[in-house]
Structure 1
Amino acid sequence: MIRDDVSAIPAYIPGRAVPDALKLSSNEAAHPPLPGAVEAMTAAARTANRYPDMGVVTLKAELAETLGLSPEQIAVGCGSSALCQQLIQATCRADDEVIFAWRSFEAYPIFCMVVGAKPVMIPLDDNHRHDLDAMAAAITEHTRLIFVCNPNNPTGTTISDAEFTAFMDRVPNDVIVVLDEAYFEYARDENNPVSTELIHRYPNLIGMRTFSKAYGLAGVRVGYAFGNPLVIDAVNRVALPFSVNAVGQAGALASLAAADELLSRTDEAVTQRNIVTAEIPGAVESQANFVWIPTDDAHRIATELADHGVLVRAFDEGIRVTVTTDDETRTFLDAWRQLI
């Protein structure tokens, strides 16, 4: 009754939540949506008896104006995660290959296995960064898609524009590269590649961003991809109908209109990540709203932090801690100091 390979698909593990604990495990923004966004979403909720705009026409038009693109170059999905899966569905058949760094966004291998594609996981280098040379060398005739998460989740590291363009020049034109910029708004390194500036040079490049992080709309799930209209059309064709709900569309529109106010909040996270990085020996310099702490003892440390009322995300290779506000940073560091 069920595909014999479904049981091999790993479950996506969300950040842990415990009542009354400080949750720094899911890279969420600490601040609620702006009042105008809440009002827009409340109004949209009153019409929940009606279907949302399936084509997300108004939001696409606003995004197009903001990004300097045409609406035909933009796909909007139920968070950027859904768009990752749609890109794999649109490009891969069984046994095709998808390349990405590891460790990176943990949903990449899950989405590959859903369609029967082979995940090709390239280890990060010794500095916890993408090894773009190794990723380029891993391309075969079966490669259909490559994900480059920048800043990388969970390490917060970035690649330079020069490194990325050199990589793109090595990628065959029939292999799509996704520059996953979910944490783009937190990056302060001026040498970062910027997808909106590069998609005109590379027809096989797709940029991807989200309203879940810096815009504080994680609970309503709105992400967007942009690039070659032929690729975007294919992404839209494999989307679930009405996958972007009316409340999310309203919140994204209102938030986009107040982008300057919302994005000023990212400066607070930047300050806090610098404090955490300076405080904890071995912490990796980050360009996202989290800090990576490499350790072989991550699960024990995370359990002990939870006992002190602070939740972080443990991986086999280290701990990822979300950075938010001064008060939450103090709480985390107080708990950390009790462990050492």
Structure 2
Amino acid sequence: MTSSETIKGGIEPRPVVARLPRYAAGKPPAEVDGMASYKLSSNENPLPPLPAVLEAIAQQTDFNRYPDPLSTRLRTELSAFLDVPAEDIVTGAGSLGALNQLLATFAGRNDDGTPDEVIYAWRSFEAYPISIGLSGAGGVPVPVTADGRHDLPAMAAAVTSRTKVILLCTPNNPTGPVLGAAETEEFIRLVPPHVVVVIDEAYQEFVRAEDAVDGIAMYRKYPNVAVLRTFSKAHGLAGLRVGYSVSNPGLTQHLRVAATPFAVSQIAEKAAIVSLQNYGQVVGRVQSLVDERERVTAGLRSLGWAVPDAQGNFVWLDLGEDSAGFAELAGAQALSVRAFPGEGVRVSIGEPEANARFLRLCADYTKAPRGS
């Protein structure tokens, strides 16, 4: 068969690709005459990187060279910041890149053709089933509770001899609640020690719940725990794609084999280092967004709306079949929000005017979320 005949007949991907859901990135806002447009659909930090970070980026010139594949300087900075050995840190292209490295290392399809299993809450981060499927493993989604929390007893009950990885998203994206320290530790103790428990803390800096789990504390106590964190949210570096995992040597010795070389560019590494060195300013900016989050949630509850505990930089509206319609109304107000048709709407915390306009929209909306 010639190459032209192959193309004419169609080039088919692996069968798993056809079964995967499509990742739907948050759409930009529509232009509406007389209104400033705001994107509240991707959980982005509405504030730019710190001035010192922007200056460091402007001064970077060595793009003719490959970056350090181990991100040694960043891992050294993180080692001091987190008080963990640098050898326990593996960088990746955002926390999603770090997750993909974990899955590539510990879950997939075995030599006899049987797939491993990866347990995760649902609804949770929509990239999970895609990444799991591409790894060759089988996903085992466990429904969240009515208030958007992980059902840890049900997740523990879902563990089988084929389970290799469990994903815990805290705060859970898109619903918002965190996992408590005591319940998470009890869960980890129930999990077989050969199963990797991944605690995804992409929004950790926004958490204010006093009883929230600290992934780093769990990693220190349990050799099978890996923690995911990122510079995309709190640090405002989403476009530079820099994240990392923290795990014990029993995991990192294998994880480095599967880690993508040069995943973190030198400009991303430098930006992350400078942001860490000015972390006091990051904390101040995050607190301003937390204050806005509290204002938004208080405003929604004053309308009589049931809103899950919001511990990230977003709120969840359990609108069910009304989700797509609400998103359309928001679009008419030059606000882009993230609708999950038939389930709910996630709205990122944005600029104060964007948040105020969102609350005005909700005040005029006649269909409250389920449970209100």
- Corresponding residue for residue 49 of structure 2: 33
Contact kept? 1:304, 1:339, Cα under 8 Å? no
- Corresponding residue for residue 25 of structure 2: 14
What's the CA shift string for 1:119-161, capped at 9, x where partnerless? 1000001221000000001000000000000110001101211
Query: What's the offset of the Cα at 1:99?
Result: 0.3
1:337 aligns with 2:353: no
- Corresponding residue for residue 269 of structure 1: 289
Q: Which amino acid aligns with 1:326?
A: P
Number of matched residues?
339
Query: What's the offset of the Cα at 1:63?
Result: 0.3
Contact kept? 1:16, 1:311, Cα under 8 Å? yes
Identity across the alignment (%): 40
2:315 to 271, 291, 301: 291
Contact kept? 1:155, 1:286, Cα under 8 Å? yes
SS where residue 264 of structure 1 aligns? helix
With the length of structure 1 as denominator, give the TM-score of the two structures. 0.97
Q: Which amino acid aligns with 1:308?
A: Q
5 Å-filtered alignment, 1:105-254, equals 105-254=125-274
2:329 to 270, 287, 304: 304
Name the CA distance, whole Å, in 2 between partners of 1:306 and 1:209.
31
Which has the larger displacement, 276-285 or 25-34?
Answer: 276-285
Q: Which amino acid aligns with 2:332?
A: D
SS where residue 238 of structure 2 aligns? coil
Query: What's the offset of the Cα at 1:115?
Result: 1.8
Q: Which amino acid aligns with 1:141?
A: S
Which has the larger displacement, 227-236 or 65-74?
Answer: 227-236
**Pair 1:19–1:247, CA change in 2 (3 A):** farther
Contact kept? 1:305, 1:336, Cα under 8 Å? no
Name the CA distance, whole Å, in 1 between partners of 2:313 and 2:286.
8
Query: What's the offset of the Cα at 1:19?
Result: 5.4
What's the CA shift string for 1:72-104, capped at 9, x where partnerless? 100110000011111111011221000010000
Q: Which amino acid aligns with 1:208?
A: L
2:95 to 75, 80, 85: 80
- Corresponding residue for residue 15 of structure 2: 4
Contact kept? 2:199, 2:225, Cα under 8 Å? yes
Which has the larger displacement, 140-149 or 275-284?
Answer: 275-284
Contact kept? 2:307, 2:317, Cα under 8 Å? yes
Contact kept? 1:42, 1:247, Cα under 8 Å? no
Contact kept? 2:70, 2:90, Cα under 8 Å? no
With the length of structure 2 as denominator, give the TM-score of the two structures. 0.88
Name the CA distance, whole Å, in 1 between partners of 2:360 and 2:297.
14
What's the CA shift string for 1:198-238, capped at 9, x where partnerless? 21210000111100000100010100110212312322211
Structure 2 unaligned spans of 5+? 1-10, 32-36, 110-114, 367-372
Name the CA distance, whole Å, in 2 between partners of 1:110 and 1:9.
6
Q: Which amino acid aligns with 2:313?
A: N
2:59 to 28, 33, 43: 43
Name the CA distance, whole Å, in 1 between partners of 2:309 and 2:21.
29
Query: What's the offset of the Cα at 1:55?
Result: 1.2
- Corresponding residue for residue 93 of structure 1: 108
What's the CA shift string for 1:309-337, capped at 9, x where partnerless? 11111113111111133222112223333
Contact kept? 2:327, 2:337, Cα under 8 Å? yes
Contact kept? 1:92, 1:144, Cα under 8 Å? yes
SS where residue 262 of structure 2 aligns? coil
- Bigger radius of gyration among the two: 2
Query: What's the offset of the Cα at 1:14?
Result: 0.6
Contact kept? 2:30, 2:334, Cα under 8 Å? no
Q: Which amino acid aligns with 1:79?
A: G
- Corresponding residue for residue 8 of structure 2: none
Name the CA distance, whole Å, in 1 between partners of 2:74 and 2:153.
37
SS where residue 224 of structure 1 aligns? strand
Name the CA distance, whole Å, in 1 between partners of 2:16 and 2:217.
40
Q: Which amino acid aligns with 1:30?
A: P
Name the CA distance, whole Å, in 1 between partners of 2:119 and 2:15.
24
Q: Which amino acid aligns with 1:23?
A: K
Structure 1 unaligned spans of 5+? none
Contact kept? 2:30, 2:331, Cα under 8 Å? no
